[in-house]
Amino acid sequence: MKNERVTVIDIAKAAGVSKSTVSLVLQGSPLVNDGTRAKVTAVMRELGYVYNRGAANLRQSSSKSKILGVVVNDLTNGFFAELAVGVDMVVQSAGFVQFLSNTSESLDRQSEVIASMREHGISGLILSPARATTAADLKPIVASGIPVVVVVRNVPGARVSSLVSDNQQGTFASVRHLASLGHRRIAFLGGFNDTAVFEDRLQGYRAAMAAHGMKPDDSLVVPSAPSRAGGVDAIGRALAIDVKPTAAVCFNDAVAFGVCDGLRAKGLEPGKDFAVVGFDDVIEAKTAVPALTTISVDPQAMGRRAAQLLLKQINAGKAEAESIISSVRLVVRSSCGAEGADPSVKVETGL
Amino acid sequence: MKNERVTVIDIAKAAGVSKSTVSLVLQGSPLVNDGTRAKVTAVMRELGYVYNRGAANLRQSSSKSKILGVVVNDLTNGFFAELAVGVDMVVQSAGFVQFLSNTSESLDRQSEVIASMREHGISGLILSPARATTAADLKPIVASGIPVVVVVRNVPGARVSSLVSDNQQGTFASVRHLASLGHRRIAFLGGFNDTAVFEDRLQGYRAAMAAHGMKPDDSLVVPSAPSRAGGVDAIGRALAIDVKPTAAVCFNDAVAFGVCDGLRAKGLEPGKDFAVVGFDDVIEAKTAVPALTTISVDPQAMGRRAAQLLLKQINAGKAEAESIISSVRLVVRSSCGAEGADPSVKVETGL
DNA sequence: TGACAACATTGGAACGTTCCAATTATTAAC
DNA sequence: GTTAATAATTGGAACGTTCCAATGTTGTCA
């Protein structure tokens, strides 16, 4: 009972039909008589038959393996865990199963796991790329014709589909909200200024500043590491300029928390003496003191959407690259000093 | 370049050897001449050959598929995401790849994903079982001889290996710590009293109470839903008894947060007027106000350990069931009213 | 020169499935 | 009662690899 696999031939013998008929039953073909189908399925159950997809894949085109690859850059980050759960939902209900691997931002690991997944015959890949991933890194898998959907971070120049959140819209909404509260000196704090995400968020900030009649002032833009420590640093520098800001749009929530720390260290109360807005809506944003006003991106919905897009491409048989920008919404809490003050600026999430 | 797979035969032709030799190279056999090996690998690189593990698995014993299954009950919970990352680390460095699926506590989904993974030929399974999983649910996969390691929650009666955290030791340490701070009336709050985990934690609590000369008093044990709302409820009932407790060991961190809420609602300040200890050390425990004193279980280390155990069993070829209890440690913060007061009670994590 | 290792290489069968073309059984039509 | 059409079933080749037994190639020694 332990060593011997039950195969389609064993079933055939026991049911008194040929292996071809069993195969037909397995695929739910309408060609086979209802009586035989019933007998065959009964025998399968009785003998404890387990379908061997490996063997099936060998014969069929590899795009029918019913395996997806999911590669994320940091699974310890709640954002990506949620994303993975979203993917998992639609993957499961489509009868697929997913390889999931973590790269910890390492390009080498990323290449390795993608290669390994290819050997196992994935029919598509969802990738949240490690930092500094280039189109060249994706070349092999793209050339093989396996559909790829890149999420969260774009890979410029790669001929793959992408699904990123609307960074510009996000910071635009943040600035608009702060402006509606009367702020005129609004800083943009944190983030490495050599990344595409930074560029997008900064652009949304600048557009909104212009749209609300504030003249551009680059001394208000203070990059830093996209971390809590970076936030402390950035607010320190921002408060050292001539005409001090009264509010800040931060690169992400981690920076925003750091900004709050830095403000308190200078005797200022975030949400009261200075308005702070984050980006991401991490779990702590809700429970922190003060609760953080931020841009929410609903990673789980993004995961679902990415999986749907990928499955569509797999079924279509050809990878027509498609770019989707997923909308975001402003969540007003207390760190901006106006809890629930301006619900009109909410941008609804798409999907 | 898109449709045609490069096979071992193509390599053989191009390199002027037989497919058998190419296969030998693939397996790193010492039989093959260094010159030929070099030529073959060169040709493989040149033609962009991708090893087809599916075909290989067909020929080999299925325990060499280099695929592991990982099934968790709730990936949105940071605890399990960390666990998965731990598993991923050792899985990757062993050259394996993992299927990862989420069951959302659904037994049906759990059965489905395990069946699906079996069809894909996993050589082992790490399972964090959905609530109410029984030995019968695991029967098919256990009978097939595939090694299974159950983590976090035990499945009584199943002949599988298990790795759970030391629940008894955890609550024992909590009580000891509270006793060292002078508390005599210590309650045990929250948790469904029909689960094995509840039983374990309660037992540790009782043992410690006895060990520190406090007589058993079941009115101090107040079960509830293992959630924030359950905690509010439990502390309400606990404060209604004759001789009120002055401290509580909570079933988990969620309950502990609820207990803090409930205390404040009654005008009591947690950490000052009443000592609270949690269990799990979720991320928010550090940042909450007051920061939660709790029992930390290091899920990532648990994941690594589970994966190592499973790989060991796969390599051994036979599944000798093995039970490991992973030690935990008390993290003293401010909710117990004694930040850093008693470092001597720390229990070091194993591994 | 022949015998014997040691080393390299090889053809073919096997793994469990799908797919195709071919076959048989059943019914319908004239 | 023959033919045509439909329905149900079937054997065998194929998928890309591994493994086994067999073969070829050297070199060494008597």
Q: How far is the CA of A300 from the C1' of C11 (A)?
A: 54
Nearest chain B CA: its distance from A268 CA (Å): 20
Residue ranges in A194-298 assigned as alpha helix (H): 196-211, 228-238, 253-265, 284-287
Is the pLDDT at A184 greater than 70? The verdict is yes
Q: Name, in order, each residue with C-beta under 8 angstroms of A14's C-beta and a sequence gap of 6 or more.
A: A43, A46, A47
Question: B120: which 2 tokens?
Answer: 């894909």
pLDDT band (50, 70, 90) for residue B319:
low
pLDDT at A340: 46
Q: Which chain B residue shows the shortest CA-CA distance from A118?
A: B50
Place of tokens 């320190």: A236
pLDDT band (50, 70, 90) for residue B109:
very high
pLDDT tens figures, A288-347: 778 899 999 999 999 999 999 999 999 987 768 999 999 999 999 999 987 644 444 443
Distance separating alpha carbons of residues A204 and A200, to the nearest angstrom: 6
B53 close contact with A: CB closer than 8 A: yes
pLDDT at B40: 95
Q: Which chain B residue shows the shortest CA-CA distance from A68?
A: B99
Q: Residues B274, B200: contact at Cβ < 8 Å? A: no
Mean pLDDT for all residues in chain B: 91
R_g over Cα of chain B: 26
**Architecture of the A167-297+330-345 domain:** 3-Layer(aba) Sandwich (3.40)
- When pLDDT is averaged across residues B17-46 and rounded to a whole number, the result is 94
Question: B298: which 2 tokens?
Answer: 């290091």
Whether B57 sits inside 8 A of A53 (CB atoms) is: no
Helical axes B8-15 vs B19-26, angle rounded to 10°: 110
Q: Residues A151, A302: contact at Cβ < 8 Å? A: yes
- When pLDDT is averaged across residues B163-190 and rounded to a whole number, the result is 97
pLDDT at A319: 63
User: What is the CATH code of the structural domain delimited by B62-166+299-327?
Assistant: 3.40.50.2300
pLDDT tens figures, B252-294: 998 999 999 999 999 999 999 999 999 999 877 887 778 899 9
Is the pLDDT at A276 greater than 80? The verdict is yes
Which position has the higher pLDDT, A120 or A195? A120
Is the pLDDT at B346 greater than 50? The verdict is no
pLDDT tens figures, A130-168: 988 999 999 999 999 999 999 999 998 999 999 999 999
Mean pLDDT for all residues in chain A: 91
pLDDT at A316: 86
pLDDT at A1: 41
Is the pLDDT at A266 greater than 90? The verdict is yes
B326: phi then psi, degrees, rounded to nearest 5: -90, 125
Distance separating alpha carbons of residues A194 and A205, to the nearest angstrom: 16
Is the pLDDT at B341 greater than 80? The verdict is no
Question: A339: which 2 tokens?
Answer: 């809890």
Which residue of A50, A71, A289 to mutate against B (max B Cβ within 10 Å)?
A: A50
Domain ranges of chain B: 8-51, 62-166+299-327, 167-297+330-345
Q: Residues B278, B250: contact at Cβ < 8 Å? A: yes
Same fold, A63-166+299-327 and A167-297+330-345: yes
pLDDT at A325: 95
pLDDT tens figures, A51-78: 999 999 999 877 789 999 999 999 988 7
Place of tokens 């928390």: A257
Q: How far is the CA of B161 from the C1' of C16 (A)?
A: 31
| Choice among A41-45, A120-124, A191-195 with the minimum mean pLDDT | A191-195
Q: Amino acid identity of A100?
A: L
Question: B90: which 2 tokens?
Answer: 């050792």
Residues of chain A positioned with their CB less than 8 A from the CB of B287: 284, 287-288
Report the footprint of strand D: residues with C-beta closer than 7 angstroms. A 17-21, 24, 31-33, 35-36, 55, 58-59; B 5, 7-9, 19-20, 23, 26-27, 49, 51-52, 55-56, 58-60
Question: A22: which 2 tokens?
Answer: 């069993």
Q: Which of B90, B88, B84, B62 is nearest to B71 (CA)?
A: B84
Please report the DSSP string for B243-304 in residue order: S--SEEEESSHHHHHHHHHHHHHTT--BTTTBEEE-SB--HHHHHSSSPPBEEE--HHHHHH
DSSP β-bridge partners for residue A99? A69, B99
CATH topology of domain B8-51: 434 Repressor (Amino-terminal Domain) (1.10.260)
Is the pLDDT at A109 greater than 50? The verdict is yes
A54 close contact with B: CB closer than 8 A: yes
Q: Residues A285, A291: contact at Cβ < 8 Å? A: yes
The pTM of the full predicted model, rounded to 2 decimals, is 0.86
CATH topology of domain A63-166+299-327: Rossmann fold (3.40.50)
Q: Residues B182, B161: contact at Cβ < 8 Å? A: no
E strand or H helix that includes residue A326: strand A323-326
pLDDT at B178: 97
